[in-house]
Amino acid sequence: MASKILLIYTGGTIGMVQNHSTGALKPFDFKHLKNEVPELNRLAVTLETISFEQPIDSSNMHPIIWIKLAELIEQNYHSYDGFVILHGSDTMAYTASALSFMLENLGKPVIFTGSQLPIGIIRTDGKENLITAIEIASAHKNNLPLVPEVAIYFEYELFRGNRTLKYNAAHFDAFKSPNYPSLAEAGVNIEFKTNYISKKPKKKLIVHKELDNDIVVLHLFPGISKKITSSILKITGLKAVVLNTFGAGNAPTEKWFVDEIKQAIENNIIVYNVTQCLEGKVIQGKYETSSQLKKIGVISGEDITLEAAVTKLMYILALPVNIKKKKELLTKNLRGEISN
Ligand code: ASP
């Protein structure tokens, strides 16, 4: 039987067509998707579509919309074999990361894609991305989906969603997964790297619908001032800080800096050490410039991406558990987002 796929259009460049007289880009009506991409008629899938009433540029993405997306998947989970989410590429890695945490025990493909050029433009990368994403979402063997996880498909490669980042605003090849191999490559055939793809869990899907965004990212740079650091760490209501550090998780050893971080931790703020480097990992204690962080209770983000760190914090902060448990969960590999 043909797989049944639900295509959800949230917005972004992929769903735009050009007004031929003015040249302006505007979203097209997804009810007419097959007029724009007639090739879809030739796929052996049953395709149904839902479009956001007001499609958004993904720079306007928000945790409220992530919750809406998680609910859509929950409501349709048993009626479809897989999901394809069309999304602007700018924040796609954040949304994919967030959904990976929200959809615990996910057993069906949730494949994100988008494009750098609108689908209505002749040189678009959108058609290939869309068609292959649908093929991936519907791929199965022995009645089991080949990719039962949240992933991003872009320009011939499939990546784990919470390992991915957008690194190029100009090339079709816009995404990278620096610390985890690709899950599939689309050439003449789609080659699935089954060793790297999560196994379908036995447990039932649990959808987490609460996120807490009382967090901040503190990106370090040489010369960061005490005044600014101190006021950021004293923001009312702040619950967690992603400390975006140098190299293998290093930070200034100046006394004022360590004291400010220590004070924040004593005030029950979680401090999560994520490196500014795209490859490699945080190793607290490797250098003197990170030993003090370890000593005062900063939590190592290992090789997590910034996108996954931010969304993992939002997810964990909203869980009904105490701060000790939250800190413990942060160190755990929950959805394949870190390599430990
Ligand atoms: N600014 C657009 C967005 O992220 C770019 C894209 O669609 O790729 O929504």
Q: Is 114 in the pocket of ligand 1 (CB under 6 A)?
A: yes
Alpha-carbon distance 244 to 234, whole Å? 17
Residue nearest to atom 3 of ligand 1 (CA): 88
- pLDDT tens digit string along 259-301? 999 999 999 999 999 999 999 999 998 888 889 999 999 999 9
The beta strands (E) that lie in the chain are given as 3-9, 16-18, 25-27, 45-51, 82-86, 103-104, 110-113, 140-141, 144-145, 150-154, 157-160, 165-166, 175-176, 184-186, 190-192, 206-207, 215-219, 240-245, 270-275, 299-300
Nearest alpha-carbon partner for 306 in 147, 155, 179, 152: 179
Q: Is 129 in the pocket of ligand 1 (CB under 6 A)?
A: no
- pLDDT tens digit string along 89-120? 999 999 999 999 999 999 999 999 999 898 88
Which of 10, 13, 124, 305 does the annotation list as catalytic?
A: 13
Position with higher pLDDT, 118 vs 226: 226
β partners of residue 246: 250
Position with higher pLDDT, 1 vs 39: 39
pTM recorded for the entire structure: 0.96
- Residue-level pLDDT at 214: 98
3-state secondary structure of 172: coil
Structure-block tokens of residue 259: 């004291």
CA of residue 256 to ligand 1 center, whole Å: 41
- pLDDT tens digit string along 3-56? 999 999 999 888 887 777 887 777 777 777 888 888 888 999 999 999 998 889
Residue 13 is a catalytic residue: yes
CB-based contact 231:205 (threshold 8 Å): no
Q: Is 55 in the pocket of ligand 1 (CB under 6 A)?
A: no
Structure-block tokens of residue 16: 């735009």
Report which ligand 1 atom has the smallest distance to the Cα of 14: 7
- Residue-level pLDDT at 129: 96
Helices (H), the chain: 33-36, 63-76, 92-102, 126-138, 226-233, 255-266, 288-296, 306-317, 323-331
CA of residue 88 to ligand 1 center, whole Å: 4
Eight-state DSSP code of residue 179: T
